[in-house]
Amino acid sequence: METLLVVALAVAVVAMGLVAGYVFAYGNSVMSGLRSADDRTFVVASQKMITAVPNPIFIGLSNLPVLALGAALIAGALSGAGWVAMLLISSSLALYAATLGITFLVNVPLNNALLSVGTAVVELAQARSGFEEPWTRANAWRSATAVAAVITSLVALVLLS
């Protein structure tokens, strides 16, 4: 069971690290780069990227930490892992769940609204003003929760190794 616990935590750390890196980099490169674009370019480019993200690799990778952390919790309980390790793993799962919650409750609805925008100049300006700031703010929060999830799992992994 200890081996399963360590392997599950390692998988969670790698998968969450990739997701955290993606979310952080997107906010700090793509959104920063689009900040200076005109409304049409911003909306059209964002729409293209929004439709590209939900692919099988990204969806599988972004759901893998939930499964890995669940397996780690079960393996930890069965192997008698200490309360500190269990608390860290539980905290990591809660933080990653917050990351997914922010994504599905804030970012995805904003993405869907932006996808339904027409091409009229007024529509583009309104859509951008209703999207850019709330999406970027939510992305900063999910970057923070994703990084915190990685850190707590990494500390648990080090503690158990």
Measured between alpha carbons, how far is 114 from 51 in angstroms, rounded to an integer? 11
For the chain, 161 residues long, give each residue's pLDDT as a single digit of tens: 799 999 999 999 999 999 999 999 999 999 999 999 999 999 999 999 999 998 999 999 999 999 999 999 999 999 999 999 999 999 999 999 999 999 999 999 999 999 999 878 888 999 999 999 999 999 999 999 999 999 999 999 999 98
Measured between alpha carbons, how far is 24 from 3 in angstroms, rounded to an integer? 31
- Domain count for the chain: 1
Domain residue limits at 74: 1-160
Written as six digits, the tokens of 122 are 């007024």
Measured between alpha carbons, how far is 149 from 12 in angstroms, rounded to an integer? 9
Measured between alpha carbons, how far is 108 from 131 in angstroms, rounded to an integer? 11
Residue type, 42: F
Q: Whose structure tokens read 């994504």?
A: 103
| Contact of 31 with 136, CB cutoff 8 Å | yes
